[in-house]
Amino acid sequence: MPHDTVHGRPTRSELPFWPPLIDLVGLELVDGFMWMLEILLEDDSMLHAYKHIETRRYLHLHEDGGRAFVCVGPGRYCEVDPRTALEAVVADWELSLVEDEDAGPIRAALATARARADDHGAGNRED
């Protein structure tokens, strides 16, 4: 298990919180996700878990809209670069779009989402 993990537990909230996802992937791709749950971290901040409809993979985004996490074990989360988190969720899906009539616009939206993720990652690095 990675050393830089934080503990989190699901809350009882059933109110979806979309701003972190919209901020990362944009309105063009947000409909491809379901909000699943809110996770209270040990520092009293929140993660929101979004499940991609096609890949069934989770994207865990911090309420501040700039940080991404991966689940590394029951109740344990590790911060990762937002681009890394996004790629883990959408890469296989993008490959399946080869013959999809919507592939062009989806790929364009993914390119925009990747650029946003890179910007978020750059904003979180201490130079």
3-state SS string for 99-126: CCCCHHHHHHHHHHHHHHHHHHHHHHCC
- Provide the pLDDT confidence category of residue 127 given band limits of 50, 70 and 90: very low
CA nearest to 60, candidates 78, 43, 74? 78
Residue 21 has a pLDDT of 96
Per the structure, the count of domains in the chain is 1
Q: What are phi and psi of 7, to 5 degrees?
A: -90, 145
Query: d(Cα 112, Cα 92) in Å, to the nearest integer?
Result: 17
Residue 112 has a pLDDT of 84
pLDDT at 8 > cutoff 50: yes
Residue 106 has a pLDDT of 81
Task: Report the percent of the chain where pLDDT is more than 90.
Answer: 61
The pLDDT tens digits of the residues spanning 27-83 come to 988 999 999 999 999 999 999 999 999 899 999 999 998 899 999 999 999 999 999
Residue 119 has a pLDDT of 86
Look up the domain containing 83 and give its range: 5-124
